[in-house]
Chain A
Amino acid sequence: MSIEQQYRTRAKELLSAGEVKMVIGYGAGTTAERRRPLFITSPDETERLVLDSACIANLSGYLVTEGLLSDEKRVAVFLRPEGIRALNVLAAEAQLDPLQVVIIGFDLPKGELKALQGSSVDDFTALLGALKESTPDVDGRELLEKIEKMSPEERFAFWQEEFSKCIKCYACRQACPMCYCRRCIVDSNQPQWVNTSSHTLGNFEWNIVRAFHLSGRCVECGNCDRACPVNIPLRLINRKMAQEVLDSFNHFAGTSKTQEPVLASFKKDDSETFIL
C-alpha cells in the first residue's frame, strides 16, 4: 500500500474514531504540480487527500488560526521535519498546546516520499536533534557565499536592488507559520516605524524587521520564499540568521517543545567582542 493510501486510511480512522476534529493535509491544486491545503472534518472526504513530492508547503501555520484549538479538541496535520520544528517553536512560545496536535509525519529526501514514525512532537526529538548536526542542503548556497564575500557597499547595493522589487504584499508574512502576531509592527501607524509606501527605504526596513523577528525562530521551511511574487531571495537572509544564531548561541530553532526562545533568554557569558 502506498504511503498516500496508508495516510488516507490513518486520517479516516482518526476522524471516525473522533480522536481528531480535523485533518489538515494537501489536496490537488490548480495545476498538476501544485498542491493546496485541505481541511477535512468528515471521514468520507479523506479520499481527497494527496501526498506526493509536490507537497512542500509547511502547514503548521494553520494550527494557530484563531479559535481552531480553543475547544481543546485535537487536530491532525501533515508535517515535514521543518513543520515539526515549527510546531515546537509555536509550543515553546505558548501559542498552542502540542498535545492537541496529532502529527502525520513525512519527509521528501531528494524528492522521494518517506513516511515518518510517530504522532506527537516528542516522538521526533531524535530526528530533529540529528538535523541540527547535519549541514543543510539549501538552494542558493553559492549566492549566499558570494554575498558574504562582498564589501558592505556591494551588499547594500545587492539588497537595495532586490528589495526595490518588493511590493509590500506581505505574502511572506502571511505564509510564515512564525508570523502570528495579531498586530504586526508594520501595521502600526502611531508611531509608524516602517514606511508603508512602495519606496525602497520602507521595503528595506520591512525586510530587515521581518528577518530580525525570525532570527532564532525560522525553521527554513521556505514558505516565504515560495510565496514571494517578485522572487526576493528571502530564504538567504533567514539562512544567514539561522547560521548566526547557531554559531553564536548554539541554538537550533524547534528541537523541543520547551526550548527557550533565543532572544528571550541569555547567558551571562554570551560573547561581547564587539562592545566597546
Chain B
Amino acid sequence: MAVNQSHTLPESLRESARLVEKTREERLARLLRGETFPLLSLSDRRAWLEEYHPDYQLEGRRTLGVGPSKGMETPVELADLLEAWPRANVLSLYEDSDKRLAQEPDHVTDVLIIGGGGAGMAAAITAAEAGAKVTIATKLRPGDSNTIMAEGGIQAADQECDSPVQHFLDVLGGGHFTNDPDMVEALVTDGPETLRWLEELGLLFDKYATGRMKTRHGGGTSRKRLHSCGDVTGLEIMRVLQDRAEYLGVETIQFHPAVELLTDENGRAVGVVLERIPQGETLVVRAKAVILATGGFGRLHFRDFPTSNHYGATADGLAIAYRAGLPLRDIQSCQYHPTGVAYPEQKLGLLLTEKFRGLGAQILNRHGDEFVHNLEPRDVTTATIIRECSEYDNGVETPGGVNGVWLDIPLIELLHGRGTIEREFPGRFKEFIGKGFDIRKWPVLAYPTLHYQNGGVVTGTDAATDMPGLFAAGEVTGGVHGKNRLMGNALLEILVFGRRAGEGAARFAAEFGAGGKPGLSHLDAFLEELTVAKIDRQRTAPRLLPVYGKVRPV
C-alpha cells in the first residue's frame, strides 16, 4: 500500500517519542521481572476520580426539573434532550390523534425492535426462533451502530481459574459497588453459554490450534477473561448476527428512526411512530411487543469531548422512554475511554482498544515514564491521564493544541514476539500503515474520549421495563455496570439481555396479543409538565443525528 509521508509524526512530537524509546528497555526488564506500577487503593481511586474525572465535576451539569427522574443531575446536553418536546410530526399526531391513529397502521408485526445494533439483532434472532414475526426499525442501515465498532473483546468466565462468581466480583468492584446486583448476576451467569452460542453461529474467535480460546486481561479484571476476534470483535459479531437474522426472515426497515412510542388505553406499548429520514414523514407501526435497543449517547459530545461512537449515538431511546414515564439511572455517568486517538487529528477521538494495554502496551507521559497501572478500571485511568496532563503538565501537546499521553504499542512485540501487532490488531495496523504510520515502531498519542453510556432505562433481569409490552436491552439501559463499565462487559450485556428481551417479547406477544387502540396518551402528563416548566417549544427530541460544520439539522 502506498505510504503517505505527511501522516508520520511531526518533529515536535518525535522528540518526546524518542524518550519513550529510551525508557523502553528498562520498562521491559521490569515487566519481565514481574514488576508493575502499583495499583491504587480504593481510597486513592476515589480521590483521583473526584478531583479529575469529568463525571465528578459540577460544571456542565444540570438537575432535571421535569419527568420521572426529576432531581437527577445530568450533563446539560442530555438534560436538554430529556426536557424537550416531541418532534413536530409527533405533536401533530398527538393533537389530531383520533383521525390518523384510528386508521389502518402502515405496518403490523409481532415484535418490533427499535435499533439494528448488537442488542437489537440478538433480540431479533431469539424472538424469531421463538416463532414471532420480527421487524427491526433502525435509524441508519442495520449494523451501523456502536456494536460494529467494538474492537477489544467480550468478557465471560470460561477459564479454569475463573468462574461467574469471580466475574461478579470484578464487575461490582469495577462499578464501585453501585451496580444492580440482580443484573450483574444475570450477566455473569449467562456468560459462558453466550460464548458457546456465538461459536455455534460460526463466529471466529481468536483461538489456539486446539480450539482453546485466547484470553487476555482488560482494565479491572482479575482473570484473563477477554475474548476477541482480532481487533474487529464487534464487526465480526455484528455480521454473524445479521446474517443469522436475515436467514430467519427478520425484516428490516432502514433509515426510519423511531420518534415516539404508541400505547393503548391501559398504558401498554402497542407500537411506534417512525420517521423516514431525511424526508420527515411518519410511519405508524403496530406491534404486540416493542424492544428498545437504540444504543448510547456519545454523539452528544458532552463538554465538547470528542467521541468514539457511531454517527447515530444520540440518545434517542432515552428521550423516548423518559417522556413515556420510565425512570432512568446513572445517566450522569459517562465513560471516557482512556485512549482515544489524539494524533493524527482526522482520527481524533477514535478508539485505541484496551486490548493494546491487555497485551502490555503502557501509558506514558512526555518523559517516557509510567504513571498508572495498566489494569485500573477505565474511569480511574482516565482521571489519572487528565491529572498527568493538567495538574502535572506532563502531557505532550500536538500541533493542533490537543494534549496527549503516549501509548507504547511497540512494547507489545518485545513482550510477545515479532508479528504480534499485525496478527492481533489487523484492523488498526492496516489503517495506520495505510497512512504511513507504523505502530510497530512508534508509540501513538492518546487522550480520553467520550465512549459509553453507563446508565439508562431501568429494566428487570428479564429485560422488561415498567411499561407492559416494552422491553429494553443494551447500552440504552442502566444498572448492569453501575457508574462504571469494565471493558468487554458491554458486548456481553447486549447479547445476554438482547436475547432475554427477544425471548420475553415473543412470549408477551403470544400471550397478550395485539392490545387496545394505539394512542399517545402517555404523553399527557409529560407535556403538561413541560408547559408548566415553560420549556421552549423549539427544543425537540429525539435529535436523530448530530450536527457538524455548517450542516443544518435533519
Is A bound to B?
A: no
